[in-house]
Amino acid sequence: MGRENELAQLLHYISDAYPGHLTILDAKRGDIGSTAAYYAQEAYDRYGADVVTLNPYLGYESIEPYLAYADKGVVVLCRTSNADSNWLQNDPNDPLPVYQRVARRVKEWNTAGQCLLVAGATYPEELGVIRRLVGSMPLLVPGIGAQGGDLAAVMANGVDTAGTGLLISSSRGILYAGEGESFADAAGQAARALRDEINELRTG
């Protein structure tokens, strides 16, 4: 309970200290509708998150309670960045891979513009397929940094027609950039370096 309270305090602090910035609760929730409703209440009301990551395995009933919060967003797992995901998400024997079915279905659910998709940086070609399937829907892109995703390939395959549409995440590359008293400075430098590289690729 103590750590949960710390998370709630942190998210509310970020929202208060940095107005206009989105807070994403990377919870990867996914449960039947009645339980999902309580998880949605926890994410949005208790923690004050703007967006929460969700697992679509149980179908629309596990997503719908979150979409009932009209001013909030959801990020649905589609093509995750971890290497062991192929057996389900992109089986070479599947004529229509699961990740593509997820992308198409979430596009149908996105009637109010609340949805995003996870599209891992470690699979840039699949990221490009997702972009073509969902148009301008924003994509949350993990896998840059410690997982070795190619930022240039992500930008080439993932931006929308306006040259935007990507929320690029580097978790370990920033969190573990330094330690001890140097942590904050090292993490800040790593975050700024990634931001600058993204902007250079956008304009270059």
pLDDT, position 82: 93
Q: Is 180 left (phi over 0), alpha (psi -120 to 50) or beta?
A: left
Residues 138 and 203 in one domain: no
Residues 117 and 194 in one domain: no
Edge-to-edge strand order for the sheet containing 51-54? 24-29, 51-54, 73-79, 115-119, 139-141, 166-168
Residues 81 and 43 in one domain: yes
52 and 42 Cβ atoms separated by less than 8 Å: no
Residues 108 and 194 in one domain: no
Residue with tokens 């190619």: 150
Residues 65 and 160 in one domain: yes
pLDDT, position 85: 94
Distance CA 119, CA 97 (A): 14
Residues 164 and 177 in one domain: no
Residues 42 and 106 in one domain: yes
56 and 105 Cβ atoms separated by less than 8 Å: yes
Domain residue limits at 198: 172-204
Residues 33 and 128 in one domain: yes
CATH number at residue 102: 3.20.20.70
Annotation says 72 is catalytic: no
pLDDT, position 101: 97
Provide the number of structural domains found in the chain.
2
pLDDT, position 146: 83
Residues 132 and 161 in one domain: yes
Q: Which of 18, 28, 57, 113 is catalytic?
A: 28
- The DSSP symbol for 144 reads B
Residues 131 and 176 in one domain: no
pLDDT, position 203: 81
Could you tell me the mean pLDDT of each successive run of 10 residues in the chain, 204 residues long? Answer: 81 93 95 96 96 97 98 98 93 94 98 98 97 98 91 96 94 91 93 95 83
Residues 69 and 92 in one domain: yes
